[in-house]
Structure 1
Amino acid sequence: MLSVLDLMLSRFSYQNDIIVGTPLANRNIEGTEDLIGFFINTLPIRTKVDEEQSFKELLSSNSLKVQGVQNMQDIPFEQIVKSLNVERDSSRNAIFQVLFSVQDFSKEIKNSNLFSGINQGLTGNSAKYDLSVMVENGYISFNYCSDIYKKTTISSMLNTYMTLLEKLLVQNNVPMQNVGKVDVVARGDVVNYPKKNSG
């Protein structure tokens, strides 16, 4: 599901270098499993999307990256930011602006009517990230920053994501560029924003 999100984000942003944050339980140290408290660490996963590759190749590459990140989940996010020497900006996350979180997989997600009960409630009231994609109890929700995205854009992103999920289940061996070109709107618009003034 993360790989499909990467592909969708690549198409909407016209970029092939995608970084998505994902929360990890961070309870892999013996003795922390039964402790009460907040141990979640959100770490970035970087993906290079090449639409000439098959989705199966992207999925395989991403699986290795996710395993690598899981093995490093004890590293605090702040330490990563510091080691990368990223310039801090209080208005946004230092490394990623999109969060992807899977709480659980319900039976509805696994059946043949993929996501037939999708939650169409798009929420934009309070957003910690530019876009958060949450999968929970068989529903997908997009929480987004309404200062950045229009509801129509998010609806198009959601529709594209769902279409890609359905098509890539059966077309995972063909080049991704041949899969899921829904419509012109789903491709997004190229917008040249003015550069930020430092003073």
Structure 2
Amino acid sequence: MSYEGSSAKPQDQAPQSSSQLLKSYFRENFGPWVGFVQHRFSLPRGDSEDVVMTAFREASARKWGEGEDARDRLGAFMGARVQWRAKDHLKSEARRLQHEVACDTAEAENLPNRGLVQPEQSFAEQEDLQRVHLVIQQLSPRDQKHASLVLGGLTPQECALELGLTEVNERVRRHRWMSRVTQIVQLDREEQR
């Protein structure tokens, strides 16, 4: 279904309610906004449509009133929101790619023997990192996946999205498994003394 183009111009219409304004604005401007995102941010059509639809959903949550002033405010809101959402999409994509590279590297190098230790780290720090990775392998598969996302550099919001959790649940689960890892590493260190 194409939402592009409408023969009616805003000045030819009677004053519109907020929902009518959104509908007419959507019909007239969906295609141009998608084209703008595709051209300006070099996103594929599907991603561009998602960005624009998200911005329209956010616009529909607001009251715009009536008249040309409302149409101008809606246009300004959409301009700012579409650009913000497109930039956010690009940042998320970059972090996702970083995470995939980190996960691929971890799989290729076999997690317990990963070369995460930097030469400038002290011997104690190197041992602690090795203990942490050994302990992470003792976690449940769900917590291991969560740990790989965190080690891959994803934010709590991105981890929550990836794991299908709310941000609050993601933070609670992260705290629990990180506490377990810390306790086990500390106990192990004390036993070795």
Please indicate, yes or no, whether the TM-score normalized by the shorter chain is above 0.5.
no
Select the structure with the greater relative contact order (CA < 8 A; seq sep ≥ 6).
Answer: 1
TM-score (norm 1): 0.23
TM-score (norm 2): 0.24
Which structure is higher in helix share? 2
- Select the structure of larger CA radius of gyration: 2
Which structure is higher in strand share? 1
